[in-house]
A and B are shown apart, each in its own frame.
Chain A
Amino acid sequence: MGAIPFARWAEAMGDMLLPPGFAALEPFVGEWVLPDAVARMAKRQASSIAAIRLFYDAMLPRGAAALEHLRQYALGEVPPDAERLLKLMLALAEVAPAVEWYGTPSVPDGFPVQRIRYLRQIADNTTQAGAI
């Protein structure tokens, strides 16, 4: 499913895809809002470095503002528009080494990340034990 049908659906529902002020990032919602860390890792590995850079370059200048917006929500209580923004930021965390360290989607000459299996992940929007 691409960004456009989802955007139209969200618009029809009277809902904004992303919180006010982040509309410029909406074109990335369809491709880079993903269910979990495993899906984000797979997306990075399946993307060209050009596509990753396009996403990274759009996200980075808005990163501090996005985190400021997200800091007002407790996990488990993040509304849908902010949750999509959170997931875009988590995708930024996933792709950052590709851009900043490697210049390629995967670790150059590295162990194939496709060979690792995740047994446990941290849920993206669930209350965490020990949070005050």
Chain B
Amino acid sequence: MDDLHAPPVPGIGLTAKYPEIGTGPVDTTIYHDPAIFAQEMEAIFKRSWYMIGRVEQIPKAGDFFTCELPSFRQAVLVCRDREGRVNAFHNVCTHRGNVAEHRAEGHCNGLFTCRFHGWSFDLQGRLARMRDEEGFFGADRAGMGLKKIPVDIWEGFIFVSPVDEPHQTLVEYLGEQGRDTAGYPWGACTQSYQFETEIACNWKLAVDSPSEVYHIPVLHPNSAAPTMMAAGNPHGRLLDVTLKGPHRTNSHYSVLAEPKPVQKLAYFHAQAAQNVVQAELDYELPKGINPTRSPWWTVDLITFFPALSFTLSAHMYTAHQVWPLSPNRCLYQQRVFVRPAQNAGQRFGQENTMVEFRDVVMEDLSTLERIQRALDTGQIRKFHYHDHELALRHQHYVVTDILAAYEREQG
């Protein structure tokens, strides 16, 4: 174990693996320009898929949840039908447009009933009952069911498309990144917290926020820094960055540091997931997770372009989805997934994991509205990225590349 006490310092040279990305400063216009934002919505966001929940939320026929796709202002109803299929609909009653199901989640006995005039829809979305049907001039119920939303499932995550004819299938969208991370025990973390906040910044800044750890020693001196920078890695460099088409993975370094007192309680008395070196796993990591198979691995940030990222360690993960609202506003949604508590003591470990992660996120998000102000006022026109800020440079490259192709496509 001696080598674990003298970990290597990660080197410079990540960006050089991808010469097409370049090394110069980048123009910041795409972070605030309204015309570019409108193009991004067409060329990027309408062509992507969105993770809205997990299959464990609706285990039985009749179970459902509702949500919104904030960037598209669409209301969605997801349920499991009697054949075990997961169905997704626009949550819009076909009579006058009220929501067909008003509750956030629950179980229904096979019918969703609109609280406006009482029309009811079944688990396949068919219009089952029009109250006082005689007064509707012989309208054909068969064509008046809830409108379906394209839905598909990857590793237990429910994804939907905001357009009727998806630009690509979910499998195509997830690509190599999806193949290389399938097989992680996603479903073992049955318990989750979810929180969200609006942030006055461009969506790309919110995606950037955890995508570099050059900031770790400065922005997180007492929280994340003790394990993620340490003596051998004073600048908090990454183990690796892997680019896969539009998607990317950051692999994070860590060393065993002395836990804080309450962390000791959580780790050693309540089985909380530790974001530190894990010697023993009860499963095999897929090849896309800890891709360098480093013994100093702690966390991967697995990003599905444009705006879904998993912060993933051996026994817990988080999922954050950034929803663009305007050139300088977005909705940031974060889910924290942990393994089930086997007893009341382990419940403490779950809470410790959530609170620590949330507070680190509050450290991260602190800079975003200030950066956006500098962008909106023209006070910063170039970003200079460090070698280990490659993920940000990659995002800029991918967005610029897609918008250029879209312009050619539109003629």
Contacts and interface: CB of A to CB of B under 8 A. Distances in A.
Contacts of B363: 107, 110-111
Interface of B: 56, 59, 104, 188, 190-199, 222-223, 260-263, 265-266, 269-270, 333, 335, 338-348, 350-352, 354-356, 358-359, 361-366, 368
Contacts of A110: 359, 362-363, 365-366
Interface of A: 37, 60, 63-64, 67-75, 78, 82-83, 86, 89-90, 92-94, 96-97, 100-102, 106-107, 109-113, 115-122, 124-125, 128-132
A75 B195 contact: no
B195 A118 contact: yes
Contacts of A74: 342-344
Contacts, number: 155
Nearest to B104: A119
Contacts of A82: 344
Nearest to B53: A120
Contact of B343 (A72, A109, A113): A72
A93 B352 CA distance: 5
A98 to B, nearest CB: 9
A90 B194 contact: no
B364 to A, nearest CB: 8
A67 B348 CA distance: 8
Most buried by B among A60, A74, A89: A89
A83 B347 CA distance: 11
B191 A122 contact: yes
Contacts of B263: 96, 100
A89 to B, nearest CB: 5
B366 A107 contact: yes
A118 B351 contact: no
